[in-house]
């Protein structure tokens, strides 16, 4: 399109793609009645030519896409950031816009977001909730992700990873590695999936002949890298006791790693570590972190599918989904 | 509050705090006329008792807080995640709610978010823009962060770090370390701050007697860890040529690190690396990454202050702010 000085119009895009302007409009509005092939051709042209939708051509499009509210406890946690990115992408493919309310695990802020987004007419919620259930969202299209709706009703949709199994796999791994002095590093900012992970872990250890009393539990106030780092630095002042650690999130594991590295304690030679989430941090940390893999892509897809079914009145096969997990084994337990 | 079975009301909280119901309401609405001490006492009680704002008590509070739209290119980049978290916290302290539109550096998605959020009556925007300027936001309260409004007008507010200076500091550091074969690893997904960082870097090298032609530029399609990782793995197939790298984001540096580690190339002994952003990744990677520090706290504060001034009609001292940067020196250049 060299030589074209005026901004591109929908007509230009239609001409380039060899389709009608109405087809381009339908594609922009996710409005059906076009082939996948046409859609991808048109979208490619839009992308390549930096075509900007003409805001004044209102007659040609809906006022705006229907919008879903996403509630998330902490976007600085790479696991949640990736999960939210997947949700947004999947929603957009299904023809929904989305906006994010970040709660910082703060109950009042979560309330405020729910209230404010509802007042702004979002059509539904995908909710990683600190509060765990919102009475005000009773019968409002809502999917509870990662943390089941507590005190909710039968028809509330929950999607979560098999956290118990994840903890169990972590315990097996440290048991096989013959660790003797073990600790769980966990956050006490939410009770549900943290408890299941701990229970699964203890079950595997008891099978390996290690009783619960032999396993210390270090509760960190939140799941921040910095908080785990500070706590382990503190522990190290009296000499570091452990040779096996199960960190219930990769962020906690990363804080632990950083503190051990500064104290010249070698992973995995002196301390073996298993994380949970298998997010970018597990891959980039050195040496690589063995971590329980959660399938955030599948999680997002399921959540969006369930929400869209609620919105369109299509039936759901179930209201409670458990996603399988597996262990990504890397150098930290080798 | 043991024994209280019914849900707590605002009256209960007021009684516990020894203040009037109206005061509690004002605190919940960020409505002034109470002391810091009263505020913190009431908030503590709300937190401790899991008090949930009664949605039906509408007379007592505004319908909802005014909401600011935050546009961000990629929340999975820890630098942006932290910046957005800071913006949200700062807005909330000033009595504004906020919602996030994540664009994935995609122009159409950014357009869609701006259009949809405006239609949903956000009162203003804080915008880390891929498009760089929105005609539809002309005279609408908007702050352009990190990337100046291109093609905008004099009254448009821009806040950015001193990217040129940052690049210069990176060049100085690798020059002092006597690196001979240098490369810039940059993203070509946005042109503004990337170009300034490169120019500053080349300026420092030319002062050290290294001409521009001696510096390779590796353009990565985006700023994702995984993309930099794949590219460096590819480079390594023909033997790795460089002993000094300037990565224009910490995410790129992290991808480079991970690839070099897998190839048993030692940092800093064989290759020295400087990143940009000084986000969590620089702190947690091993060995620690020397990185140009951007003050995301200050950036957020300035952005919110400027936006609130626009919203309330208060005067601004300037419309273009440059924030100072400095080098956080860690093991990667030691």
The predicted-structure confidence for A189-207, as pLDDT tens digits, reads as follows: 666 789 999 999 999 999 9
Q: What are phi and psi of A95, to 5 degrees?
A: 95, 25
Q: Quick one: pLDDT at residue A136?
A: 86
**Residue A297 touches chain B, beta carbons under 8 Å:** no
- Chain B residues 90-149 with CB within 8 Å of chain A: 92, 97, 99-102, 104, 106-109, 111-113, 115-117, 119-121, 131, 135-136
Nearest chain B residue to A75 by CA: give it. Answer: B81
Q: Quick one: pLDDT at residue B58?
A: 36
- Quick check: helix, strand or coil at residue B47? helix
Give the separation between CA A54 and CA A66, rounded to whole angstroms: 19
Tell which residue, A292, A245, A299, A246, has the closest CA to residue A270: A245
- Chain A residues 37-66 with CB within 8 Å of chain B: 46-47, 50-53, 55, 63-65
Q: Quick one: pLDDT at residue A50?
A: 65
| In contact, B245 and B235? CB cutoff 8 Å | no
Q: Quick one: pLDDT at residue A71?
A: 95
Checking if the pLDDT of A60 tops 50, the result is no
Q: Quick one: pLDDT at residue B11?
A: 83
Of A129-133, A169-173, B94-98, B147-151, the one with minimum mean pLDDT is: B147-151
Q: Quick one: pLDDT at residue B54?
A: 46
Q: Per the structure block, which two tokens stand in for B53?
A: 């704002």
Given the candidates 3.40.920.10, 3.40.50.720, 1.10.260.40, 2.60.40.3080, the CATH classification of the domain at A10-60 is 1.10.260.40
Compare CB distances from B67 to A63, A102, A120 and report the shortest one's residue: A120
| In contact, A104 and A73? CB cutoff 8 Å | yes
First to last CA, chain B: 57
* Confidence category of residue A53, pLDDT binned at 50, 70, 90: low
| Angstroms from A163 CA to nearest CA on chain B | 23
- A278 vs B35: which has the higher pLDDT: A278
Q: Quick one: pLDDT at residue B6?
A: 58
* Confidence category of residue A273, pLDDT binned at 50, 70, 90: very high
* Confidence category of residue A59, pLDDT binned at 50, 70, 90: very low
Checking if the pLDDT of A55 tops 50, the result is no
8 Å CB contact of A53 and B108: yes
Tell which residue, A299, A282, A300, A301, has the closest CA to residue A291: A282
Positive or negative CA dihedral for A228, A229, A230, A234? Answer: positive
Tokens 């950014």 identify what position? B110
Fold annotation for B163-294+328-333: Rossmann fold (3.40.50)
Give the separation between CA B256 and CA B290, rounded to whole angstroms: 14
In Å, how far from its chain's centre is CA A189?
A: 16
Domain B67-161+296-323 has CATH 3.40.50.2300: yes
Q: Quick one: pLDDT at residue B59?
A: 33
| In contact, B310 and B149? CB cutoff 8 Å | no
Q: CB atoms < 10 A from the CB of A173, how many?
A: 21
Give the separation between CA B324 and CA B295, rounded to whole angstroms: 8
8 Å CB contact of B112 and A65: yes
Q: Per the structure block, which two tokens stand in for A6?
A: 């005026």
The count of CB pairs under 8 A between chains A and B is 149
Q: Quick one: pLDDT at residue B190?
A: 65
Domain boundaries, chain A: 10-60, 67-161+296-324, 163-294+328-333
Q: Quick one: pLDDT at residue B176?
A: 84
Give the torsion through C-alpha atoms of B83, B84, B90, B91, to 10 deg: 150
**Residue B286 touches chain A, beta carbons under 8 Å:** yes
- Chain A residues 172-231 with CB within 8 Å of chain B: 225
Strand order in the sheet with A182-187: A215-220, A182-187, A244-247, A272-277, A290-293, A326-328
pLDDT along chain B (334 residues), means of 10: 54 87 79 80 79 45 72 94 93 88 87 85 91 86 90 85 97 90 88 89 94 93 94 91 96 96 94 97 92 97 96 92 96 92
Compare CB distances from B65 to A84, A112, A283 and report the shortest one's residue: A112
- Quick check: helix, strand or coil at residue B103? coil
Give the separation between CA B205 and CA A3, rounded to whole angstroms: 38
Q: Quick one: pLDDT at residue A31?
A: 67
Give the separation between CA B261 and CA B258, rounded to whole angstroms: 5
Q: Quick one: pLDDT at residue A9?
A: 76
For the segment A122-149, the average pLDDT, to the nearest whole number, is 90
CATH superfamily of A67-161+296-324: Response regulator (3.40.50.2300)
Q: CB atoms < 10 A from the CB of B148, how many?
A: 18
- Quick check: helix, strand or coil at residue B85? helix
Complex ipTM more than 0.90, yes or no: no
Q: Per the structure block, which two tokens stand in for A177?
A: 């590695």
Q: Quick one: pLDDT at residue A4?
A: 35
Q: Decide whether B67-161+296-323 matches B163-294+328-333 in CATH topology.
A: yes
Cα Rg, chain B, nearest whole Å: 24
Element (H, E) at B181: none
To probe the interface with A, which of B47, B90, B100 has the most A CB atoms within 10 Å?
B100
């Amino acid at each position: 399109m060299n030589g074209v000085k005026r901004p591109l119009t929908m007509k230009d895009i239609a001409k380039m793609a060899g389709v009608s302007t109405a087809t381009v409009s339908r594609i922009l509005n996710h409005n059906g009645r076009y082939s996948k092939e046409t859609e991808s051709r048109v979208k490619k042209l839009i992308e390549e030519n930096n075509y900007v939708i003409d805001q004044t051509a209102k007659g040609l499009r809906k006022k705006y896409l229907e919008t879903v509210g996403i509630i998330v406890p902490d976007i600085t946690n790479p696991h949640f950031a990736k999960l939210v990115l997947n949700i947004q992408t999947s929603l957009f493919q299904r023809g929904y816009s989305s906006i994010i309310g970040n709660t910082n695990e703060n109950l009042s802020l979560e309330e405020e977001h729910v209230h404010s987004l509802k007042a702004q007419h979002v059509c539904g919620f995908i909710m990683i909730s600190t509060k765990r259930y919102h009475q005000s969202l009773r019968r409002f299209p809502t999917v509870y992700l990662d943390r089941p709706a507590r005190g909710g009703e039968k028809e509330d949709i929950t999607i979560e990873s098999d956290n118990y199994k994840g903890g169990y796999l972590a315990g097996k791994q440290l048991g096989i590695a013959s660790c003797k002095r073990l600790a769980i590093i966990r956050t006490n900012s939410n009770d549900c999936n943290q408890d299941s992970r701990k229970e699964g872990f203890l079950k595997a250890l008891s099978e390996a002949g290690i009783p619960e009393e032999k396993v210390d539990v270090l509760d960190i106030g939140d799941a921040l890298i910095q908080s785990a780092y500070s706590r382990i630095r503190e522990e190290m002042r009296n000499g570091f006791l452990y040779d096996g650690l199960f960190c219930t999130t990769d962020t906690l594991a990363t804080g632990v790693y950083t503190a051990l590295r500064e104290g010249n304690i070698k992973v995995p030679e002196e301390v073996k570590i298993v994380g949970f989430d298998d997010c970018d941090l597990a891959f980039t940390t050195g040496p690589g972190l063995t971590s329980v893999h959660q399938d955030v892509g599948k999680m997002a897809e399921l959540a969006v599918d369930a929400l869209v079914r609620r919105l369109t009145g299509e039936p759901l096969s179930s209201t409670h989904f458990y996603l399988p997990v597996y262990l990504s084994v890397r150098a930290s337990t080798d």
